[in-house]
Amino acid sequence: MECEPNSNWKLKHRLPNYLISSWFSHNRHDEHVTIMMEFEDYAIPITYDAIHVNKDHVEFRKIRENHEVFTERINVSISGGWVDFDMDIESTYTLRYLNNIESLFKNISVDFSISFVHVQGSNCTVNCKSDMRVWRKDSKRHLSVPVDDSKAHWLGFYSAKPYAVKFTLAGRHFELGSVNGQLTTNTAISHPLTAFKEHLIMIECKRNQNVFCDIKNSVNFVSQVGKEMMLAEEEISLKAMPDFISFSDDDDSSYDVILRSKDPRIEDSLVLS
């Protein structure tokens, strides 16, 4: 699935262009993406081409018979968040950094026929043309979904069976259920989320003197405040900007987690109008 983030892709080389997206943590300096080209008549790690994308530099390397025969390095500045690259592979390589429309490498020769393209990094997608990413939360599997401090996040949940969603944001634990078709965090009265329907919440974190994260659904998100249930938003004060929303691995629930960069209800209304 092209829009299902993965840490390791091995792609049969068929197309001349690759759109690569990856997550770079705001709080870590060792985040990187590696793109390796495997040749038809040679094996990695004996002979291959590689591009290493780091927060402060990008490096192109050619390895021939275990020896480095070519290196080109360009300084960059990647602060964090979702980072997009566009790579052309024809008779030469071209790599563009789409976040600021900058060409990093061009006119570097392709020396052999390429059989596979390998992509390694955090939550990578390849040739995903949508602003939607989808993770599968399987039973007994811990899942972490990145949080970008520059935008709001619309998180949808979907399953073919009734289920509960347990997640943690910067140490605060939440469990989503439903009451009369509305989402609630009050587990004392809630029921599992209904199947075959996407349930939507919005999470937005902002940095001022402190960090505040809002969790809400302006239409039907019910949060617990004291002993009352009310249509409201849940505001969390944090010491640092969170990097991930973590989904619990201590239950048997299986469901899809759908991350969008735009409000799907607005998109739906534009289509209908």
Identify the structural domains of the chain with CATH numbers, from first to last: 6-126 (2.60.120.200), 134-263 (2.60.120)
> What's the first-to-final CA gap in the chain, in angstroms?
31
The SS3 of residue 248 is coil
- Cα dihedral 167→169→173→179 (10° resolution): -60
CA 148 – CA 135 distance, rounded (Å): 16
Report phi then psi at 272, rounded to 5: -75, -25
pTM, whole model, 2 decimals? 0.83
Q: What pLDDT, on the 0 to 100 scale, is given for residue 226?
A: 31
CA separation (Å) from 18 to 86, 102, 118, 119?
6, 16, 11, 10
**Structure confidence by residue, pLDDT tens digits, 64-74:** 999 999 999 99
- Beta partners for residue 111, in sequence order: none
Distance of CA 230 to the CA centre of its chain: 32
Residue 172 contacts by C-beta under 8 Å, 6 or more apart in sequence?
A: 236
CA 269 – CA 273 distance, rounded (Å): 6
Cis bond before residue 45 (omega within 30° of 0):
yes
Q: How many Cβ atoms from other residues are within 10 Å of residue 20's Cβ? A: 24
261, burial (CB in 10 Å: exposed 0-12, middle 13-18, buried 19+): middle
Q: How many Cβ atoms from other residues are within 10 Å of residue 133's Cβ? A: 22
CA 273 – CA 268 distance, rounded (Å): 9
CA 185 – CA 217 distance, rounded (Å): 12
Q: What pLDDT, on the 0 to 100 scale, is given for residue 271?
A: 33
Q: What pLDDT, on the 0 to 100 scale, is given for residue 229?
A: 34
Report phi then psi at 141, rounded to 5: -115, 125
Residue 242 contacts by C-beta under 8 Å, 6 or more apart in sequence?
A: 147, 169, 170, 205, 211, 213
| DSSP single-letter state for residue 194 | P
Q: What pLDDT, on the 0 to 100 scale, is given for residue 249?
A: 72
- pLDDT averaged per 10 residues in sequence order, the chain, 273 residues: 89 95 85 95 94 94 96 89 92 89 85 97 93 87 81 88 87 82 74 89 77 64 34 59 81 87 58 30
Q: What pLDDT, on the 0 to 100 scale, is given for residue 230?
A: 33
